[in-house]
């Protein structure tokens, strides 16, 4: 009898231990799921603020088209509108802004894709006027690759303080020749350029310096450069020192600035907007 009672006691103890472990594991799993949901909601912030993607010299639909599609596939944005600007500055729109909080993307295409940055700055302005008048847009982000970045800064340093235009919240410049392709001078280091600005300043750069007061101080900035590591300290088109030449200019103005250099074959000039690591950096900057 005592032996049976002993066995029964052991079985009850084992059952209690099993139930306790199962309950603890379930609580841990539930806690992990709650943490995962919390982290997801914290990292993905969706608003109705549009982001304009502006291609570079001789660019077209593919310049940012595939990048937007990849980001859209990851549920970070929704491509809602394509604005094609004629050589005269008129705008043809395809699609529409819905007003939904889906981080809408707008692809900007210049029909005359080899025109100068002054005209492109005017065309960017025309796009913003269109968005303001058609959709009552009050704020946007700008992403420019190569000359699209230089033209965006030309716009910002010319019209950035115009209260009739939508406010620019964030600006991304990817491999943009802000100093008109000027390389490092003899004895000059990249660190010196980032900290103090370039020793040799092109006319384009000097214009940015003159117009920096028109750039919104509240605008956050991300500058991206590529180094293919062939000894040129460039992405085969734009020197790293050139793409990052305006870091100190923005910082001295009071803007929050991030800079990043990508390395290797995938950091080649045209490959940067096909680089998934660039995708991730840009999306994190814009929407996290």
Give residue-wise pLDDT tens across range 48-73.
999 999 999 999 999 999 999 999 99
28 domain residue, yes or no: no
Give residue-wise pLDDT tens across range 84-125.
999 999 999 999 999 999 999 999 999 999 999 999 999 999
Q: Tell me the β-bridge partners of 8.
A: none
213 domain residue, yes or no: yes
> What domain count does the chain have?
1
Give residue-wise pLDDT tens across range 211-243.
999 999 999 999 999 999 999 999 999 999 999
Any idea what the CATH number is for the domain that residue 204 is in?
A: 3.40.50.1820
37 domain residue, yes or no: no
Q: Which stretch of DSSP H or E encloses residue 227?
A: strand 220-227
Q: Binning pLDDT at 50, 70 and 90, where does residue 150 land?
A: very high
pTM of the model: 0.86
Helices (H), 95-146: 117-135
227 domain residue, yes or no: yes
Q: CA 201, CA 190: separation in Å to the nearest integer? A: 15
For residue 261, the enclosing domain spans 48-180+190-287
CA atoms within 13 A on the CB side of 58: 1
Q: CA 224, CA 168: separation in Å to the nearest integer? A: 18
């Amino acid at each position: 009898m005592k032996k049976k009672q002993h066995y029964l006691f052991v079985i009850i103890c084992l059952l209690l231990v099993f139930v306790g472990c199962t309950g603890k594991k379930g609580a841990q799993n539930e806690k992990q799921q709650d943490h995962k949901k919390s982290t997801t909601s914290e990292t993905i912030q969706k608003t109705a603020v549009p982001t304009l993607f502006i291609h570079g010299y001789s660019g077209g639909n593919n310049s940012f088209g595939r990048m937007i599609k990849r980001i859209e596939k990851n549920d970070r944005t929704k491509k809602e509108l394509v604005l094609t600007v004629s050589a005269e500055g008129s705008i043809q729109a395809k699609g529409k802004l819905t007003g939904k909080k889906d981080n809408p993307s707008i692809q900007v295409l210049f029909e005359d894709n080899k025109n100068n940055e002054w005209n492109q700055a005017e065309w960017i302005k025309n796009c913003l006027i269109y968005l303001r008048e058609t959709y009552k847009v009050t704020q946007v982000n700008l992403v420019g690759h190569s000359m699209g970045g230089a033209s965006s800064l030309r716009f910002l340093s010319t019209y950035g303080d115009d209260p009739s235009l939508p406010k620019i919240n964030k600006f991304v410049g990817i491999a943009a020749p802000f100093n008109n392709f000027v390389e490092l001078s003899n004895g000059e280091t990249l660190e010196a350029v980032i900290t103090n600005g370039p020793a040799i300043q092109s006319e384009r750069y000097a214009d940015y310096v003159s117009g920096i007061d028109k750039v919104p101080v509240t605008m956050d900035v991300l500058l991206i450069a590529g180094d293919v590591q062939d000894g040129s300290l460039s992405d085969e088109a734009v020197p790293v020192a050139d793409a990052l030449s305006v870091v100190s200019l923005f910082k001295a103005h009071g803007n929050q600035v991030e800079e990043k250099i990508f390395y290797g074959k995938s950091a080649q000039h045209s490959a940067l907007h096909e680089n998934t690591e660039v995708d991730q950096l840009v999306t994190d900057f814009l929407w996290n």
